[in-house]
Amino acid sequence: MTRLLISVASADEALIALQGGADIIDGKDAAAGPLAALPTETLRAIVAVVGGQRPVSATVGDWPADPAVLQAAASRIAATGVDWVKVGFYPGGDWQACLDALAPLARQVPLIGLLFADRTAEPQRHVAAFAKAGFAGVMVDTADKLSGSLRRHLDDDTLARFVAESAEHRMMCGLAGSLTLQDVAALSATSAEVLGFRGAACRGGARAGSLDPARLAALREAVGTSLVTATS
């Protein structure tokens, strides 16, 4: 089943996303960077307003692949009470050392590893390592929001292989990265469990703007319609 993830920057936006039918509420400071973390007090407010009605995920920030830095950032976000903690892996550094450092936390809270379509050509090659470290899931996003959407950097066949590899390792799999309403049908057909949106759900299509209930409703309908089409 494909689920709709909506990124929010405040408790007020979390309530709009919740009322608009989002399946997952994702805390992220989209105006500050691709994975910029929200203040911990804001995340706690989001968790409180959602009240367990939907899973809440949150990004840990845009950090280099440094084991100590990522472990500390992920632990800080996990302490806010979110359900999933999303950790981005940028090129460079020692990814295996980072996974080893995060493995103990992965036994306490579901961790989601984020790869970047404009930085990693074959994301499916890394899925097994995340699974071995105990991560609950993986996602592909984009780092440079001015360089085009997910599907500009990776074709649908590559994304489908990423989804299939994730399923092989029994991991949740999500796709995001400047997605639009027009991307929903093709990406739902890959059987991705989660499709993530920010800009497409905001007024004027700007990720730094405020959530637009009408745009959110259109995404909710499209994901539902595409799910029926993809599974029929």
Q: Which of 3, 54, 86, 153 is catalytic?
A: 86
Q: Is residue 76 within 8 Å of residue 85, measured between CB atoms?
A: no
Is 28 annotated in the active site? yes
Two tokens, residue 218: 């259109």
Strands (E), 60-215: 84-88, 111-116, 137-141, 172-175, 194-197
| Alpha carbon distances (Å) from 112 to 15, 168, 230 | 23, 16, 25
How long is the chain? 232
Is 86 annotated in the active site? yes
> CA torsion angle for 193, 85, 161, 143 (degrees, to 10)?
110
Q: Which of 3, 28, 198, 220 is catalytic?
A: 28
Two tokens, residue 139: 């996602």
Task: List, by residue number, the catalytic residues.
Answer: 28, 86
